[in-house]
Amino acid sequence: MRLATLRDGTPDGALALVSADGTRVLHVGGNLLSAMEDWPAAQARLETAQARLEAGEGETTDDADFAAPLPRTWQWLDGSAFTTHGDLMAVAFNHDPLGNERPLMYQGLSDRFYGPADPVPFPAMEHGIDFEGEFGVVVDAVPMGTSAAEAMKHIRLIVQINDWSLRAIAPIEMKTGFGWVQAKPACSMAPFAVTPDELGDGWKDGRVGLDLIIDWNGKEVGRANGAAMAFGFHELVAHAALTRDLVAGTVIGSGTVSNANYAEVGSSCISEIRAIEIIAHGAPQTPFMAFGDTVRMTAVDDTGRAPFGMIDQEVAKA
């Protein structure tokens, strides 16, 4: 199933199903955050509605006003599960590699996720505006101490995320030893959250094996594949749940999608591009984003299908 949230004037929006061909939506009542709190019951109701949708019910998506699938939620925990990204960030920020013995994770802003076509406001370009393409999972209630093997059954939905970052502020906050605040504004989500079965062979070992195509101002800068995670999503869920219960609706991110063959597939954030330039030329050459810049992100499978839809946004002056 592919799920979406339509704007209806309420904070959590209206839950809808999206047809397999992406041309129709069907309002199903309620919102996604509430559905996550009793997923077995919601899933049964949604599967019944899905049959009606595929039989021809629903409205065209042409005029649909999509919010993020979860316009807000209880918790957003972002990992950094791609080794190549970590290595390149060490170059970009001139610090020692953090190692890969355990997952890296921080708790970010969860009271707002921008919709897939929303302009995204920032106060100043000198803060180093950067996009970061990644994948995420939405879990139901996860008990404290859940193992990685057990965590797989708690992964109910998969999403595509742009984890916006302010790179000029990040080193300052890193040196404090506390978590991100100013350097990590609200994220954006692609319009459709999908059940794992929707990805077919693209969901394996707790990883999303799809290419994430990223265009910046109309030019492709990356198409890294999500299968290269050093830790699968089930391992990230278990890591987060070691000392706490995870409330239903928690979103856990993969971190920036990054591949070792970045010379061929490019990068999913500007900071990686700059790190590669530092390695090659001794100094970065590519600037960060400016007001009016656009970024598009689309994850595609081997057939070219885009199960999450597209993020297509413009950087705006706050």
Mean pLDDT of 176-203: 94
Residue 161 has what pLDDT?
98
Residue 158 has what pLDDT?
98
- pLDDT above 70 (res 92): no
Residue 96 has what pLDDT?
64
- pLDDT above 80 (res 86): no
- Taking only the tens place, the pLDDT of each residue in 65-76 is 999 999 999 999
Residue 84 has what pLDDT?
84
Mean pLDDT of 33-49: 96
For the chain, domains (ranges, CATH) are: 2-60 (no CATH), 76-317 (3.90.850.10)
Query: Is 0.75 surpassed by the pTM of this model?
Result: yes
Residue 188 has what pLDDT?
98
Residue 95 has what pLDDT?
67
Q: Which residue has the higher pLDDT, 120 or 100?
A: 120
Mean pLDDT of 300-309: 96
- pLDDT above 90 (res 94): no
- pLDDT above 90 (res 310): yes
- Taking only the tens place, the pLDDT of each residue in 11-29 is 999 999 999 889 999 999 9
Q: Token pair for residue 119?
A: 């302009």
- pLDDT above 80 (res 239): yes
Mean pLDDT of 110-136: 98
Mean pLDDT of 182-196: 97
- pLDDT above 70 (res 99): no
Q: Which residue has the higher pLDDT, 83 or 25?
A: 25
